Chains A and B, each alone.
Chain A
């Protein structure tokens, strides 16, 4: 079955430290990859996406992610986090042939401490 796994349910980190949120998906078929952020009591905001081309994609708020086809991963990184980055982060995948069907990972809570 096609699935998305976020390996860490919670990631605590101090302000200005780097962070990596991990995401792996199950299939080696062609994929479109997304990271969304959900701030408390809000909807989802698109952070970045990989559709094709360069495997390193940059998004909003200083985040970036790298697509690794051989490892079926799409990890999210930020070199220096801020308190305002505290939120829930969701990795999502559209698998080839399933237009529009986003499959979400379980989410990772990023807790930035002062």
Chain B
């Protein structure tokens, strides 16, 4: 498994501003993922962030709105840009430690974002 931390744990932001969320892992991992969980909803994958390559975005998500950095094997950031109230969600990062044939993701505690 892996121990994952996220900062901030929660924030209240004004519309039009941007927030950068950090994800830190206690071990080196190749695959990191960012998810969004809208109020009362399930999780939706935003993008896959692998070190050494550009993030891969899912349908409905674009780099200009959700830029991602992956500078090394233990850290990633997700920025929510030009926020609107519709961006109010929980944002979670997850990692796949890469154990052969395990295909298992472990999740951070999430960042709870409220946009006013």
Contact = CB atoms under 8 A, between A and B. Distances in A.
A51 B42 contact: no
B35 to A, nearest CB: 8
A104 B109 contact: no
Contacts, number: 50
Contacts of A103: 45
Given A43-B92, A107-B42, A102 B101 contact: no
A101 interface: yes
A43 B110 contact: yes
A107 B39 CA distance: 12
Contacts of A49: 104
A21 to B, nearest CB: 14
Interface string B38-55: 000111110010000000
Chain B contact surface mostly: strand
A46 B106 contact: yes
Contacts of B33: 100, 102
Contact of B45 (A36, A102, A105): A102
Which of under 10, 10 to 19, 20 to 34, or 35 or more describes the interface residues of B? 20 to 34
B105 A105 contact: no
Contacts of A52: 101
B75 interface: no
Given A43-B92, A43-B110, A44-B92, A100 B105 contact: yes
Interface of A: 32, 34, 36, 41-46, 49, 51-52, 90, 92, 94, 99-107
Interface of B: 31, 33, 41-45, 48, 92, 94, 96, 101-110, 112
Given A41-B112, A100-B103, 12 more contacts: A42-B109, A42-B110, A43-B110, A46-B106, A94-B103, A100-B33, A100-B48, A100-B96, A101-B45, A104-B42, A104-B44, A106-B41
